[in-house]
Amino acid sequence: MSWKGMEMELERDVWPYVLPFPVDVKKRRLVWKILQSKVGMGILARLNVEKPTYQKELIKRLPYSNKSIIEYLKLMVSAKIVEQGMEKAKIRERNVWVKWYKPTKLGRWLILFLKSPREISEETLKETVEELFQIYSANIVEFCQKYDLDIEYFHQVLDEKFLEEWKRETPEIKPEVAVFGSASLDLYGSIERLPKPDETAYIEISDVYPGGMGANVAVALSRLGVPVAFITKIGADHAGRLLLENFRRNKVNLSNLKIERGKTSLQTLILFDSEGKRRIMVLGRPNTAISITSPEEIDWKLLKYSKIVYIGETFVEVASTIADFAKNLGKIVIYRPGVPYLKLGIERIKEVIEHTEIFILNEIGWAELKKNSKEKISSIADLQRHGPQTIILTKGMLGCEIWDGEKHKIYPVPKKLIKKFKIVDATGAGDSFSAAFIKKLLEGGSFEEAVRFAQVAACITCSRFGASPAFPTLEEIVENLS
């Protein structure tokens, strides 16, 4: 039977602590005797976790005979639940010796079992949970070595449960935009030059930022005050934790985010050479969680709530189903697949773009689409014949061009924006542009208004390092719009 098959789903109201018991049989029997007794349980409930408890206080507070209380305190000492001691105290002008009891590690665990977490100080709770984790980690290592089990499984389970809990605590806001795409952890590094064949080069990783085209669009939209849901997959790993934390911080609806145990989250290496030129490499593995892989994984009600459905780097077979469903609901479908998908040629993406209202691509992607299509695609009109009547071609700091039906207009980036916002890192500029463009469309703005708004957002993003941390707020764009 597989480990996955052996897993048991526990109710959410089970006690939040795992309780270890002594290996020694005699001590274990003593513990059970104490736990089965009203006197023993009464004493445990009255013991202070953080400081000694005096015998006379227990006798005074508990509704049992002195003999019974003292008998069970002795049993607790024998079972190593408490340690005892004596100290001098001044009572009625007399110095007397008083007996005290203090919980051992086992005692603290038993007391925590009986108390609500709210009754325990944060410091004690943290210390006790850390002790428990240390013990169980050591036991799991021993268990894996003894029975030849993969310890990576336990790492993945811990990551998965942690991520699922974070996801569960994220508010499920009703979205105006549903975003499909990938999430990636961006590793920023520097290199003097690319190595020659068989040469070793040192890459220094200087910064790590949450990224991924679809994820960036979702975060940028939320930062502009747009309720947004992001539909994707991430791995149950360290990178997944960083990505999920970023979504939580930016209030993105994660109800349809899939966390996959046994898979790694996508990572991207962004290298800057000595001249400041940027090279981007996606680090994939056979088990990388890239995006949604089946229509069955989609919560379709999120699309019903939304006014706009944005499809980014999503597997073509799934993207075509999403676009078809959204179009039939009367939603605005925006498709921006990125260069790797455009390299597949028009034949592979035509079932997506035939349901697309707005198709966004950059100059590199446009060149790759023309080069890799078996069908002759030489003009935007050729592209429009496949469905999308509005096509936006972004050209970096040169601006963009928009074809809307037979209308064609060029929008250069205003010189004042170029002068004010010097390019530091262009990563995420297209994502920021797309999000701001969508924001303006939701407000009923024209294409021209949406482009001007989006250009400000992209310029601000380029003036800062990282993608997600660089996205502007609505106030920043409005301030620089004039």
Question: Bigger pLDDT: 309 or 1?
Answer: 309
pLDDT at 18: 54
3-state secondary structure of 476: helix
State the Cα–Cα distance between residues 339 and 262, nearest whole angstrom: 28
Q: Model confidence over 316-344: pLDDT tens digits?
A: 999 999 999 999 999 999 999 999 999 99
Grade residue 6 by pLDDT with cuts at 50, 70 and 90. very low
Domain 159-195+202-481 fold is UDP-N-acetylmuramoyl-L-alanine:D-glutamate ligase (3.40.1190)
What would the mean pLDDT of 230-247 be, rounded to a whole number?
Answer: 94
What would the mean pLDDT of 167-185 be, rounded to a whole number?
Answer: 93
Grade residue 2 by pLDDT with cuts at 50, 70 and 90. very low
- Angle formed by the axes of helices 429-442 and 213-223, nearest 10°: 50
Classify domain 3-149 at the CATH class level.
Answer: mainly alpha
Residue 417 has pLDDT above 60, yes or no: yes
pLDDT at 181: 96
pLDDT at 9: 41
Residue 8 has pLDDT above 80, yes or no: no
Residue 15 has pLDDT above 90, yes or no: no
95 phi/psi in degrees, rounded to 5? -85, 120
Residue 205's beta-bridge partner residues?
189
Question: Bigger pLDDT: 130 or 241?
Answer: 241
pLDDT at 12: 46
The token pair that represents 198 in the structure block: 């068989």
State the Cα–Cα distance between residues 411 and 415, nearest whole angstrom: 12
pLDDT at 440: 97
Percent of the chain with pLDDT over 70: 95
Nearest C-alpha neighbor of 254 from the set 228, 221, 283: 228
pLDDT at 117: 66
What would the mean pLDDT of 240-255 be, rounded to a whole number?
Answer: 94
pTM (two decimals): 0.80
pLDDT at 459: 97
Please count the helices (runs of H) and the strands (runs of E) in the chain: 20, 17
Domain ranges of the chain: 3-149, 159-195+202-481
Q: Model confidence over 392-403: pLDDT tens digits?
A: 999 999 999 999
Percent of the chain with pLDDT over 90: 67
158-167, 420-429, 453-462, 471-480, range with the lowest pLDDT = 158-167
pLDDT at 11: 39
Residue 351 has pLDDT above 90, yes or no: yes
